[in-house]
Amino acid sequence: MLCLSSLKKVYPYKNAAGKQAEKIAVADLNLKIANNEIFGLLGPNGAGKTTTIRMLTMLTQPTAGTICYDNLNTAANAKKIKALIGVVPQHINFDQDLTVGENMHLHGRLHHMNKQERVSRIDELLAYVELSDRINDSVRSLSGGMKRRLLIVRALMHKPQILFLDEPTVALDPQVRRRIWDLIRKMHHDGVTIVLTTHYIEEAEALCGRVAIMNKGKLIALDSPTNLKEKIGKYVVEWDKDNGERDFKIFPDRETAQKFAAALQQGNILRRHSNLEDVFVELTGRKVN
C-alpha cells in the first residue's frame, strides 16, 4: 500500500515586483494506492502530477506531509524504498555508446546485483519484450517502440514491487502504443503495482482501475473511469459552433440527449457515450494538452 498524507510542495520565487513569493505545486494531497493496482494520475500541464511523482520517487523532497510504502516512511527509509520501486522516465536516457545488454548490466550493477543474477535477469527480461536477439546491438539502432520496451524492462531489473511510468507511450504510433499497453497489463498480471501518468486519456481509460485527476495542485476527482463517467453523465452531444469550433454537452440519459440534439440548429451533430476525456474537460475546464 502506498499512502500519501497531507502532501505539499511549495516553490519559492520572486514575483514581478521582485518580492519573495511562493508557488504551491501540490496542496494537501491525500491518496492511497493499493498493491497490484494500475493507478492513473491525470491532469493538465501545471496540475502538479509531475511534482507528485518526483516526490513519490524521492527525486524531490516534500515541503510537508508524509509518503509511506507499506508503513515505511520515505523520510527515514529511503534506501529500503528505492529497492522497492522502479522508474520509467518520459525521456530516453540510455547510454548511447553501450549495447542493449551493457545498458541492462549497468542498471543491475547500480542495484548491487551480482553477475550471475544480472545475466539470468537480462535473459528473462529481454525475452519478456521480444528483444533477445538485440542484446549485442547498439541502443542507437533500436526503433522508438523497442527503446520504450527496453526502458520498461530496465526498470524491472531489480524486481521492484511498484513501477512508475511517466508518459510511457509518448510520441509512439497507435500500433506500438497498444503493444506497450499489453506489456503493462502483463506486468500487472505478474503482480507489479503500476502508477501511470499520461496525457493520452484513452490510455488511462483502457488500463487503469482507478484514476486521480489533479488541477492546480489539488486532487479534484478519484474513482474508476466507469464511475467518473457515470457521475458526469453517460451521453454526450457534440456540434459545430458558428465560429467553427466544436462544442459538447453531457446528459444523464439518452432521451434528454436526443431531445437536445433534435432542437439544435447547428450542423454536424454527433450523439455518443461519454468517455474519460469528457470527464477531464468537464472537471478541469481545460482540453487535453
Domain boundary among 225, 247, 281: 225
Same domain assignment for residues 124 and 175: yes
Which amino acid is residue 76, in one-letter code?
A
Residue 283, in any domain of the structure = no
Answer for the pair 241, 170: CB distance below 8 angstroms, yes or no: no
Same domain assignment for residues 11 and 147: yes
Q: Rounded to whole angstroms, how far apart are CA atoms 64 and 68? A: 13
Report the Cα 100 to chain-centroid distance in Å.
25
Cell numbers of 35, please? 498493491
Same domain assignment for residues 40 and 112: yes
Residue 279, in any domain of the structure = no
DSSP labels for 122-137? HHHHHHHTT-GGGTTS
Which amino acid is residue 213, in one-letter code?
I
Answer for the pair 108, 118: CB distance below 8 angstroms, yes or no: yes
Residue 133, in any domain of the structure = yes
Q: Which residues pair with 4 in a beta bridge?
A: 31, 67
Q: Look at the chain and report how many structural domains it folds into.
A: 2
Same domain assignment for residues 190 and 87: yes
Q: Which residues pair with 193 in a beta bridge?
A: 162
Does residue 140 carry a pLDDT above 70? yes
Same domain assignment for residues 50 and 148: yes
Same domain assignment for residues 127 and 258: no
Q: Which domain holds residue 136?
A: 2-225
Mean pLDDT within 255-267: 88
Write down the pLDDT at residue 206: 94
Residue 83, in any domain of the structure = yes
Q: Between 205 and 173, name the one with better pLDDT.
A: 205
Residue 260, in any domain of the structure = yes
Residue 112, in any domain of the structure = yes
Write down the pLDDT at residue 289: 43
Residue 289, in any domain of the structure = no
- pLDDT mean across residues, the chain: 92
Q: Between 19 and 41, name the one with better pLDDT.
A: 41
Same domain assignment for residues 196 and 254: no
Same domain assignment for residues 27 and 128: yes
Same domain assignment for residues 68 and 192: yes
Q: Rounded to whole angstroms, how far apart are CA atoms 211 and 221? A: 8
Same domain assignment for residues 28 and 142: yes
Residue 190, in any domain of the structure = yes
